[in-house]
Amino acid sequence: MKRETIEVAETMYDVIVVGGGTAGWVAALSAARQGKEVLLLERKGYLGGVLGSGLAIYGFHDVNHKQVVKGYAHELVERLQAVGGSDGYELLELWHASMVAVNPALVKAIIIEMLHEAGISIVLYSQVVHVVTEGTRLEGVVVQRKSGRGHYKGKRFVDASGDAVLAYLAGAPTVQSDELQPPSLVLRIENVDVHELREHLVAHPDAYVNWRMLPGHNVTAEFLRHSVKFLTSSLCSSRHCRKPGSSSSCTRLGKVYPSGEGSLRRGSTM
pLDDT digits (tens, 9 = 90+) for 190-247: 788 878 888 887 887 776 666 667 777 777 777 777 665 555 433 333 333 333 433 3
**Is residue 214 classed exposed, middle or buried when 0-12, 13-18 and 19+ CB atoms within 10 A define those classes?**
middle
Least confident of 32-41, 79-88, 187-196, 248-257: 248-257
SS3 141: strand
Cα 33 to Cα 21: distance, rounded to the nearest angstrom: 18
Alpha-helical regions (H) of 118-185: 165-169
Strand partners, 156: 15
Domain 6-54+103-169: assigned CATH number: 3.50.50.60
Please tell me the total number of residues recorded for the chain in this structure. 270
| CA–CA distances in Å: residue 28 to residues 8, 45, 173 | 21, 17, 25
**pLDDT tens-digit profile of 153-180?**
999 999 999 989 999 999 999 888 888 8
Q: What angle do CA 171, 177, 179 make, to 5 degrees?
A: 160
Q: Where in the chain is the domain with CATH 3.50.50.60?
A: 6-54+103-169
Does this model's pTM top 0.95?
no
